[in-house]
Each structure stands twice: as C-alpha cells, then as structure tokens.
Amino acid sequence: MSGTDMGGGAPINSVPADSQTMPGMDMGGASSTAASTPAPLSQLPETPLQTPTRMGTLVMPPGMIMTKSMSMDAMRDMAAVDLNLVTYAAPPEARGDQPLTPTTVDGVKVFNFETSLIRWNILPDVQVAAYAVNRQVPGPRLQLTQGDQVRINVKNTLPESTTIHWHGLIVPNAMDGPADVTQKPIAPGQTFTYAFSVNQAGTYFYHSHRSPDRQQGLGLYGALLVAPKRAAAEPKADLEYTLQLQEWLQREGYTFPAMIMEGALPNFFTINGKAYPATDTIRMRLGQRVKLRFIGSNNNFVHPMHVHGGPFEVVARDGEVLKENGRFLADTLNVGPGQRYDVLWTAQARGTWLIHCHIPHHTTNDNVEQEGGGGLTMKIVVE
C-alpha cells in the first residue's frame, strides 16, 4: 500500500520510535498505530493452514513444538498411531464397555483380555485409531462381587509392550501393573496373568500403566465395578449408568494422544467411547432414581460434569461409600483424572435433561455443535 499512511494520525504514546522497533525487523505500519486499532481485513495475511508433519516414519501433530534436543522416544510418544499397524476395524455401531463373562475354574473367575490397535468410530463419520482391550473402547466391563478371586490373562497383540493397572484395588504388589516398577512390561505377542482377590466394593477401573499418557489416552482402559457382599451396604437406585470420560486428538485422519501441551490439545471428547449425539440416552420414568457412576478415565482435564433437572446426591467417592453425614447435594461435580464418583439423581419432571461437561469446548465435536451439543453430552429422557 505505497503512499498510504497507515498510521491513522499522530502516535498516541510518546515512546521514541527507536524503542518501538526490533533491530533488523520490519515492524510494518502497525508500529505507529495504537494497539487497539486493528489492521483492515484486506491487510491481513492469509491464515496459514497447518497439516500433520513427518519426522522420519512418524507423523507429528500440527502445532507441536519440536526441537533438536528432543529424543526419538519423545517423538514416538506423541506421534500419530501408525495406521499400518492397525489390525481390526470395529463396525461403526460397535459399543464399548460390554460386560465380560468369565469362566469359573476351581472357584476363580477367569477373564481373557487381548490388547490391540483398532479403528473405532466415536461418531458415525469420525473414526479414530485406538489402543483397545478386546477390540472395544472403553475395554470390556468387569462386573465382580466383593470376595471374588480373579485371574485376568492379558494377551498383548499391540506392536509395543503394555501392562494393566487395577486402579484403586488393593492387590499383591507384583499384580499392581506399573511397567518397569513392579513387573517387566508384557512384550508384543506375550501373555501375562494377573491374579488377585477383590476385597473392596464400589466403582473402580483398569488402565494401561505402560506409557499411560499414550496408551490410556488412546483408549486402553475399562470399568471395574464391584458389588458389595452385603447388598444393603450399597446406596440403591432403580437403574444405573456408568460414564467413562476421554479426550481425543484427531486431525486429517490421524489420531494423536491428546495431552495438555502445544499441538496436542484435544478436539474430540467421549463418554464410553462415543461423542454426542452418538452417546447413549438414559430412559427413565418420573420418580425413578438413577445411579450415575462417573469414572475419570480421562487423563488430561478435570471435567465439571453437570446434570440438568435438579441436584444429585454424591454417595461414593473413589469406590468408598460416604457416611450419611458426608453425602451432599450438588449439580456439578469435577471429575478429575483417576477419580470416581457415584451420584444418585431423581427424575423430578418429565422431559429431556442433559448430562454434560461444563467446559463448553468439551461439548463440541472439533469445535462444532451438533443437535445442541457434542463430545461430553448425553440425554436423560424422563417419561
């Protein structure tokens, strides 16, 4: 724009011109313009569109800061799932969190897990690559009773080693799962058997404890619900629903582990492996009570989970039933990574009520709302 004075009149401040410019850098006409005066639209550069980038054979997310000093291990940790290593594509309508039926051998409940890389639909038209147990996200649900003896055979068919941690359960140390701490990680193709008795009751979960920032963040977790030996010990409801939360980063068909760092921030969010409107709907009748079990299987954000239509009563935290005088009413509850809350909600009026995260970005799908929400949203329909 030669010959055009972009200054818009006299400079507002009196700082000498020298101190307003970076040596050797052309600061453009804006340097003499008050900061509050925007450049006209026609003067703005085109928005540069970013794409995933290539680091050797790895695909890195757009916007990630990468420097010479970074190790290849760090790069591998944050790279996209290698789609060539995916061994199974789940049908778009497949659901995770399916109860797993054990076989009973000499009084021990025996479960079989197989870990693998899969393709998984979080929406009918959005597919991610995921680390899965038994080809589902979340992994299968373990429904146990206090006092059960269990054996869980974990066959690892991932292209990398893994372990499983039984979050919140008191187990023999060698069964606890942290890779390179209490056990050698399970190598690809190998099977490791976890054996323990379950002496607690309540809402727990399992997850990978080998690079959990990547493996758990990409789907390797599942619910572990333990019924008390004495049924009366548990706050009762007419129906119940378990919500496992997760963040995802999917761009241009590549799935990266979501993390709170540059370039790795999530753009999709799921309850039980599905983003709204693909999430489940809870259907109940007026006056009925539902027990919602929130599981912090998410490993980045604290999600303030909110329920419309009246407060719920918080009756258990991290598997422990709260004493009567420790229970409280609330309508929004921060579900942080690793935490579990059981809450009771009574249907006080007919209609469609929402359960959703109260960070509004987490109720969008790649920043777009669909059917009034997205991501961490689901409906309760009261008839």
Nearer to Cu ion, 201 or 355 (CB): 355
Q: Interface with Cu ion by CB under 5 A: which range of 45-53, 173-181, 326-334, 349-357? A: 349-357
- Alpha carbon distance 267, 225 (integer Å): 29
- Tell me the closest approach of the beta carbon of residue 338 to Cu ion, in angstroms: 15
Q: Interface with Cu ion by CB under 5 A: which range of 9-17, 44-52, 171-179, 302-310? A: 302-310
- Alpha carbon distance 363, 298 (integer Å): 15
Over the range 13-24, which residues count as b (16 or more CB within 10 Å of their CB) and which as e?
eeeeeeeeeeee
Q: Does 303 bind Cu ion (CB under 5 A)?
A: yes
Which among 274, 304, 328 has a CA at the least distance from the CA of 136?
A: 274
Nearer to Cu ion, 196 or 312 (CB): 312
- Tell me the closest approach of the beta carbon of residue 312 to Cu ion, in angstroms: 17
Q: Does 357 bind Cu ion (CB under 5 A)?
A: yes
Q: β-pairing, 281-284 with 377-382?
A: parallel
Instruction: Read off the DSSP letter of residue 327.
Output: -
Max CA distance (Å), the chain: 91
Which among 333, 331, 294 has a CA at the least distance from the CA of 310?
A: 331
Q: Interface with Cu ion by CB under 5 A: which range of 141-149, 201-209, 324-332, 354-362? A: 354-362
- Tell me the closest approach of the beta carbon of residue 362 to Cu ion, in angstroms: 3
- Tell me the closest approach of the beta carbon of residue 378 to Cu ion, in angstroms: 13
Nearest 10 degrees: Cα torsion 361, 242, 380, 317? -80
Figure out which of the listed residues 76, 94, 359, 369 binds Cu ion, where binding follows CB under 5 A.
359
Nearer to Cu ion, 209 or 303 (CB): 303
Figure out which of the listed residues 135, 207, 362, 379 binds Cu ion, where binding follows CB under 5 A.
362
Nearer to Cu ion, 95 or 361 (CB): 361
What is the residue whose two structure tokens read 């004075």?
A: 5
Q: Does 75 bind Cu ion (CB under 5 A)?
A: no
The answer to whether 199 and 319 are in contact (CB under 8 A) is no
- Tell me the closest approach of the beta carbon of residue 261 to Cu ion, in angstroms: 17
In a 13 Å sphere around the CA of 110, the CA atoms on its Cβ side amount to 9
Nearer to Cu ion, 177 or 375 (CB): 375
Handedness of CA 341, 239, 245, 199 (dihedral sign): positive
- Tell me the closest approach of the beta carbon of residue 206 to Cu ion, in angstroms: 22
Nearer to Cu ion, 142 or 357 (CB): 357
- The three-class DSSP label of residue 132 is strand
Backbone angles phi, psi at 201, to 5 degrees: -135, 155
The answer to whether 65 and 262 are in contact (CB under 8 A) is yes
Range list of H helices, 119-257:
none
Q: Does 243 bind Cu ion (CB under 5 A)?
A: no
Nearer to Cu ion, 126 or 359 (CB): 359
- Tell me the closest approach of the beta carbon of residue 361 to Cu ion, in angstroms: 8
Q: Does 315 bind Cu ion (CB under 5 A)?
A: no
Size of the site for Cu ion (CB under 5 A): 4
Nearer to Cu ion, 53 or 334 (CB): 334
- Tell me the closest approach of the beta carbon of residue 357 to Cu ion, in angstroms: 3
Question: Rule CB under 5 A: which residues touch Cu ion?
Answer: 303, 357, 359, 362
